[in-house]
Structure 1
């Protein structure tokens, strides 16, 4: 778009991350004409996970499997927090709207009832999240059930170590193994 071109709209959204995209989705759903601007480069580093409330209080690092109980605790501790000001039904409907949009565009998400799921991270730690891309769901199930599993690393891939993941999680997941491979043409 040329620099001197003007776009008329009801709402200009600055930011192309997940929050900006959700804002554009909700605004368009209400009939607002929207323009979204920003740099989208950071999205390539996003995990694809949709968190609700997995840690509270942050200082203690207390992880919660039940995000709704965590929101209740947060509301008691910090009454001015945005989650404390919203009805749980409003939060659920907003999440369902985003997930429905993603599903209708070929990106289905799954969740574990009303609870968070525990997922492993590329650092060999774990964290709690609410919605998980369907493409990652078997990994969530394997982690939960501690099934025998092989983590495959690629020689030359920076910032990912299959050995680190298996080493860090091996105490909690006895059947976890690792192997590095080379892709040759």
Structure 2
């Protein structure tokens, strides 16, 4: 199987890199081992949210210079501020072209409401998610936080408690929609995605609207768990029109409807462009000749290798088995790439679980153009993007999605530039 580019990993980084390449006519394959981490995400995308002291960042582009000083191995620091700015803007346009609609821009972070009712700084949030400017309150004085009877993955009282601490008048209640009774009787099936498939039916959306009209009579806005809009993206806007006031969504415990919807839109766009998506397959090994990846062997295709001019590793971190941790070492399992880590296991973690954990910065080392290295020497046609990269803490710094999108766009640009030179 011959491709221009083979991408290992079908998450945010792999898909957006593949989309950018496919839009320029490259024949791409994405080898995806399992569910994307997007299925477990909030649906919002962080770029650079927090300083080392924990304070929220308003203008993330202005913070890149300071980041380069205290985190020189961060992917943003390797690429440089001007490049990062260009790639972030390019990523925003790509997401929009995929039919994804967000509030926010690279110029300013904003605050989004979490499932616990707290506010977290971020870059882009789905338009259905309630947001506020940094250091500003939500724009509503009275909010109804409404759960779903029997749905355990969202607790309206917890969210209401945090919102009330912000000076907002909050009421809580539960929806009683008979169409959900069959799902409710089977707790293992009573999850956000399955609920959405029921509520997205027009007749059930209307029943939901009638319930919300009753519950939202004397409030300025309604907050629901993200259990609607998976199959019918217009469901939420229809609710807003029917109720006559904002109906907003916050993510639930996984599986996350907002994250799944994003993954579906990206995969759909990639395949519409002619990309080959290979789900449920994993790369077992690679054949390297000199400093060049020649062949990739996968579990499903056994002795039939994937051959590509360029290879992109977007396999994720420990969660996705892009990195493997054993008792005395951490390694990248496909190519045996150099890894940024700590040699002593005792240095992998901090005793205080709420402190920044060193292992979160572990990942693959690269050169300045994000090519992976073995023994300090870069492989000429292997690029590294996304969560498998080392040098940054996606939780403490709030930059996981940004790193995925920026590095994906940068590597796509590098590959396209090489193709132009070769032509």
Match of 1:93 in 2: 86
Aligned to 1:155: 149
Mapped contact 1:117–1:129 kept (Cα < 8 A)? yes
- Structure whose alpha-carbon radius of gyration is higher: 2
Distance change >3 Å, CA 75–CA 30, structure 1 → 2? farther
1:48 counterpart residue number? 43
Q: Which has the higher contact order (CA 8 A, sep 6+)?
A: 2
Of the three residues 11, 25, 35, the one matched with 1:17 is: 11
Cα distance in 1 for partners of 2:74, 2:119 equals 26
Q: Matched residues in 1 for 2:105 and 2:94: separation?
A: 19
RMSD (Å), alpha carbons:
2.4
Contact 1:146 1:173 in 2 (8 A): no
1:74 deviates by 1.3
Cα 1:8/1:111, change in 2 over 3 Å: same
Give, in whole Å, the separation in 2 of the partners of 1:64 and 1:87: 19
The answer for unaligned runs of 5 or more in structure 1 is: 1-6
Aligned counterparts of 1:116 and 1:176: Cα–Cα separation in 2: 26
Structure 1 residue 141: deviation in Å?
Answer: 4.5
**Unaligned ranges ≥5, structure 2:** 180-423
How far is 1:12 from its partner? 1.5
Corresponding position: 1:140 with 2:131:
yes
1:76 has 2:76 as partner:
no
Superposed displacement of residue 167, structure 1: 0.8
Alpha-carbon offset, residue 86 of structure 1: 2.6
Shift of 1:41: 4.8
CA separation of 1:61/1:141 partners in 2, compared to 1, >3 Å: closer, same or farther? closer
Number of residue pairs matched by the alignment: 175
TM-score where L is the length of structure 2: 0.38
Taking structure 1 as the reference length, what is the TM-score of the superposition?
Answer: 0.81
Please give the alpha-carbon distance, in whole angstroms, between the structure 2 residues aligned to 1:128 and 1:141: 9
- Cα deviations across residues 21-80 of structure 1 (Å, max 9, x unaligned)? 1221233345432111212354332222121100232xx433212212332221111122
* Residues 174 and 135 of structure 1: CA distance in aligned 2, closer, same or farther (over 3 Å): closer
Runs of 4+ in structure 1 deviating by more than 4 angstroms, as ranges, are none
Rounded to whole Å, the distance in 2 between the matches of 1:151 and 1:122 is 11
Separation of aligned partners in 1, 2:12 and 2:120: 19
Taking the aligned partners of 1:26 and 1:104, their CA distance within structure 2 comes to: 11
Q: Which residue of 1 aligns with 2:97?
A: 104
Aligned to 1:3: none
